[in-house]
Structure 1
Amino acid sequence: MNFVALDFETANHRRESVCEIGIAIVQDGIVREQKSWLVRPRDNWFNSMNTRIHGIDATKVADAPEFDELWQSVSGYFEGANVIAHNASFDLSVLRHVLAQYELPFPELSYACSLQVARRAWRGFPSYGLSALSQRFGISLNHHAAGSDAEACAHIMLRAMEAHSLSHFGDIEEAFGLRIGKLYTQGYIPAGRIRPEKKKKPSLHSMPLDLSRVSKSHPLYGKTVVFTGSLRSMSRAEAQKSVIEAGGHSSNYVNERTHYLVLSERVFLNIEQGINNNKVQQARRLTSGGNGVTLISEKEFLNLLQHEVSGGS
């Protein structure tokens, strides 16, 4: 069981804005070493929200090397390696983007996501975030310090493998139904679920609407609602249908007419870790420009939806 756990911290919303790299090296099932490096992003621009999360700003990396210089000494850890990260889709995307920015070739590596593994290794936990899992398993963590995050990620993966009696990195696919991702010179294959063929989800247009109880007193009446992420309580189409039946409007796009952006649990947790998808970024841009978009959780949306009304319009 040999692998390298990886964590990136970024200066702003751009994936290539690396400001810190952390790794933990696992050999024969034991965390042998932890390393981290500060990195100066090419434009050295830091978003204040990112700085609040990891504590790094432009002054702290002023004398640090840029990524292309640092990569000369760290690339050897990744070439031909098995790599893991907690929410690997983010960290591997950061790696691809920053390599592309400096026109550097991709290393040849295999990778897996410890977040996806944890969700299948231990069913029913309230949270699978790095902080929550570290606290549950007594793993030391200085959250959002890249080296500490990488080491915690390594320990979580090792515990999951031990819990399911796995001894090789490649066992992840069969044991957890997860495809191991690949990065190679010409491109990449994303890690993810090995899915059986799924039935087509019902669309909003295929569902009958009941507008008999539309009321102007409903809090969603006249409001435009956008959803991001997969809801636990209902499908996207069912959620859109419920908004329309409450007298509101449903859209797939965040713009000046949007009143509410409903966040799935996963999107909400990602925001806490500083990961904002395109809809969240657009909502925040509009809010800073004076067009208020209210971000609400799935639970808050359900509370609005179940609001008692005084009767028809």
Structure 2
Amino acid sequence: MGRGVGGSLAASPGVGAAPLGCRGCQRVSHSPARPWWGAGEGVPRRTRGLGPGLIVPGAPSPAFMFRLDASTCHQNLKVEELSVEWDAMGGKVQDIKAREKDGKGRTASPSPKRMPSARGGRDRFTAESYTVLGDTLIDGGDHYWEVRYDRDSKAFGVGVAYRTLGKFDQLGKTSSSWCVHLNNWLQVSFTAKHNNKAKVLDVPVPDCIGVYCNFHEGFLSFYNARTKQLLHTFKAKFTQPVLPAFMVWCGSFHVYSGLQVPSTVKCLQKRNSATSSSNASLT
């Protein structure tokens, strides 16, 4: 089951090395559309306001509801509810404000104490990680969520990671993170990444990706959310709870949480589990 993070929420960094100082990048506005999975499934399409214990008639498990942890996201990522937008000036604005605050000295009234973040007060992601995490741990059961990204994004990644990842780490470049990564910078590539190993995915790149995670069986699968084509499956042995993890560089994306596992995906996963697909090669 997914559960809220109470202790230290570690870093699951971004993906694919992306050069700093993205010159010429413009902030991209992305208007989220409805998730593709709901058609014909008899399941609500709504993604906001769903409690974590929501039970949909005919569905064996509750929907997985999570939000994004804005308090620990990379300073160049602007998080609004479930939407994330690259902001090239994000870090510079924060640095300027910090310098101005140091120059003014203390005021008569003390500033309010900052609430500890889900990662236990650790620093937010930095350098080339460009990462933001979900705020709900997965420590059992099977769960599904979708993410739609802007096609003009120079780099985008989605997957899961342990909460113990460092703030500098990039998603898929450590033994504690798994993802699929799209690189549109200089040379286009679509890869599955884990432990600094990459496998090129010879499939059409969708603009909306479904993520399926079965914690106990160790399956992490990625689907074309529209067609339900399987993109890649990792077969892992998770030794601690994982968090939904995302990265974007010079682009934007929108997350759909509160979704049931689509029946099509469940059928495909049963087949995948029975055949122990060779697709899961980066564990």
Say yes or no: TM over 0.5.
no
What TM-score, normalized by structure 1, do the two folds share?
0.23
Instruction: Give 1 or 2 for the bigger CA radius of gyration.
Output: 1
**TM-score of the aligned structures, taking structure 2 as reference length:** 0.24
